[in-house]
Structure 1
Amino acid sequence: MSEISAEQREREAALVERVVASFAGTPDPRTRELVEALTRHLHAFLRETRLTENEWKRAIDFLTAVGHITDDRRQEFILLSDVLGASMQTITINNEAYANATEATVFGPFFVEGSPHVGLGGDVAGGAPGEPLWVEGTVTDTDGTPVVGARIEVWEADADGLYDVQYGDDRVTGRGHLHTDDQGRYHFWAVTPTPYPIPDDGPVGELLRATARSPMRASHLHLMVEAEGCRTLVTHVFPSGDAHLDSDSVFGVRDSLIVDVDQQIPTTPTPDGRVVTGPWARIDVDLVLAPAP
């Protein structure tokens, strides 16, 4: 790259300041802070990389394609944020470490409001294919006090690596919610998580292929826990031994969230007496909530 003259640098710097100054009258202080910082960082990127006009055009086309493929069932912008680590960084910033509280991780693009209430011991699988999995544990605060009546939202992909919303036939499987009992305990049936690729048939998939990155997510079960006086926890459970724990495409794996899966032979009695044909598994997951900010 040729040396950039002092005159050229001055011209570029002057433009940055003109753009930043244009936001001086922004009524809301936080909005002003955000747009000014965005402007400075964006221009710094453009100047550092010496972006060409053709590259700028390709970037605009890419973002346009991300917008076009996004609809009420698919959020490609969240997917883009995920694979760039922006989602995980935002979560890390906004869920500061607190004592022994369970760590948070990415929300993901497949959460849906209005999941069925399955109740304690219910089956969130809802007919989704997969090995039956018994999940149980407790929800406490950081002092060890049981959190009674905490709402636990669960969602996951099936054995084929697909969430219900990816089928396009209005099925509701692999999701549900329940509440902890008077001792902060919970238990439910699901299916054993399996690894799957994030949707890679769109512009985000093209980005991953262009950068020789895998679209695979490590096996996981989504959990969101809400309780009065506590910080809402959005987290995952990752089965140990998964081949993608060190290369999760959205950087969502945290060591503290990896759990052992206890495989059961077909003749092993289930905790609630459910009759299971074939093998099944169980995991124990104790969740600790930080106090509300």
Structure 2
Amino acid sequence: MTGSALPADLDETTVTDAAVASFDHTPDPRLRACLAILVRHLHAAVREMEPTIEEWEQAVDFLTATGHKCDDTRQEFVLLSDVLGVSSLVENINHRKSPGATEATVLGPFHMTESPQRELGESIDEVGKAEPCLVTGRVVAVDGTPLPGAGVDVWQADEDGFYDVQRPDVLPPGTGRGLFTTDDDGRFRFTTVVPSHYPIPTDGPVGRLLLATNRHPYRPAHIHFIATANGHIPVTTHIFVADSPYLDSDAVFAVKSSLVRDFHRTDDPERAARHGLPNPFMHADIELVLEPARGAGAE
């Protein structure tokens, strides 16, 4: 009978190296490196916290409940990433912008359905029960060159702080959403309502986490944008309503001063008539500045 060496006894001082080594034959070098980093930092956190078995089981139950809360229109893991500041960190790492480019911020948990294609100037408000607001803007390169044919994906909460997927019995699908294409001058425009500040969903594990840590769940009022153009790096960003509550304590750490915009009352009968709005009306403007993709323009 051929003998074999007994495995080495593992304890709290040696299990980390063994776990890292178990991934040594991972074919993908990036995956191998990421797993090694993850295991080492996770083990370090466990050593520092020294959780009881009961506490570890609670952590597993929390993650299980987070997964169970996810569906086609709700992404609880994204929400968890948001409130831990991880989403903001990832966005900032991946969008170290050159001077003048629009700053990126979090995608958020409500970009779960496809925005309907809309014509320039069309309303994204399918209900029409609040004071309308005109949003104008343009997409340009960092040197100021307009980007015609750029895509501008827009989504927002309504004046009561709800997205369409949160109140499907009240808000028709696509309310607060639109996919626009810029004109020859890189401009876009649409009408909507001034969004309200709102609480992120608190009826799941993330809400219970906020309650247990005495954190509020509120986000300041904002409109989401994703701008894309050929030869340029897409940007995921917001504009925040300048006088909104919670600008200084956003629950998902997404506010940047460069993204705060005035939504001001405008008294301009001719412009109101041109856009089919009552006068006066609310108005906000944004310029979305995109960086060239790496290697773009190099011949």
- TM normalised by structure 1 equals 0.92
Report matched runs for 1:182-197 at 5 Å. 182-197=184-199
Aligned-pair distance for 1:279? 5.5
1:47 counterpart letter in structure 2: R
Q: How many residues align?
A: 283
Aligned-pair distance for 1:172? 2.3
Matched, 1:121 2:121: yes
Aligned-pair distance for 1:187? 1.2
Q: 1:266 to 1:175 in 2, by over 3 A?
A: same
1:33 counterpart letter in structure 2: A
Residue in 2 aligned with 1:281?
A: 282
Q: Distance in 1 between matches of 2:206 and 2:280?
A: 37
2:291 counterpart letter in structure 1: A
1:281 counterpart letter in structure 2: M
Q: Alpha-carbon deviations, 1:40-67, whole Å to 9, x = none?
A: 0000000011122111011011111101
Q: Distance in 2 between matches of 1:123 and 1:161?
A: 18
Q: 1:85 to 1:186 in 2, by over 3 A?
A: same
Residue in 2 aligned with 1:54?
A: 54
2:179 counterpart letter in structure 1: H
Q: Distance in 2 between matches of 1:131 and 1:248?
A: 25
Tell me, what secondary structure is at the counterpart of 2:179? strand
Q: Alpha-carbon deviations, 1:109-138, whole Å to 9, x = none?
A: 111443222211111122254331101122
Where do 5+ consecutive residues of structure 2 fail to align?
Answer: 1-9, 295-299
Aligned-pair distance for 1:285? 0.7
Q: Distance in 2 between matches of 1:182 and 1:280?
A: 26
Q: Distance in 1 between matches of 2:20 and 2:66?
A: 27
Q: Is the 8 A contact 1:104 1:235 kept in 2?
A: yes
Tell me, what secondary structure is at the counterpart of 2:14? helix
Aligned-pair distance for 1:11? 3.6
Residue in 1 aligned with 2:291?
A: 290
Tell me, what secondary structure is at the counterpart of 1:65? helix
Q: Distance in 1 between matches of 2:35 and 2:275?
A: 58
Report matched runs for 1:238-257 at 5 Å. 238-257=240-259
Aligned-pair distance for 1:244? 0.4
Tell me, what secondary structure is at the counterpart of 1:270? helix
Larger mean CA deviation between 114-123 and 67-76 belongs to 114-123
Where do 5+ consecutive residues of structure 1 fail to align?
Answer: 1-9
Cα RMSD (Å): 1.8
Q: 1:258 to 1:80 in 2, by over 3 A?
A: same
Q: Distance in 2 between matches of 1:38 and 1:271?
A: 58
Q: Distance in 1 between matches of 2:128 and 2:91?
A: 29
Q: Alpha-carbon deviations, 1:69-118, whole Å to 9, x = none?
A: 11111110000000000111000011112121000000011114432222
Report matched runs for 1:1-293 at 5 Å. 11-127=11-127, 129-169=129-169, 171-264=173-266, 270=272, 272-276=274-278, 280-293=281-294
1:201 counterpart letter in structure 2: D
Q: Is the 8 A contact 1:135 1:282 kept in 2?
A: yes
Residue in 2 aligned with 1:6?
A: none
Q: Is the 8 A contact 1:66 1:204 kept in 2?
A: yes
Tell me, what secondary structure is at the counterpart of 1:39? helix
Q: Is the 8 A contact 1:128 1:174 kept in 2?
A: no
Q: 1:89 to 1:253 in 2, by over 3 A?
A: same
Q: Alpha-carbon deviations, 1:133-192, whole Å to 9, x = none?
A: 101122110011111110101110111111001123463211011111111111111110
- TM normalised by structure 2 equals 0.90
Q: Distance in 1 between matches of 2:86 and 2:273?
A: 40
Q: Distance in 1 between matches of 2:15 and 2:275?
A: 71
Q: Give runs of ≥4 in structure 1 deviating > 4 Å.
A: 265-269
1:175 counterpart letter in structure 2: R
Q: Distance in 1 between matches of 2:139 and 2:173?
A: 30
Identical aligned residues as a percent? 47
Tell me, what secondary structure is at the counterpart of 1:165? helix
Q: Alpha-carbon deviations, 1:26-46, whole Å to 9, x = none?
A: 111011011111000000000
1:209 counterpart letter in structure 2: L
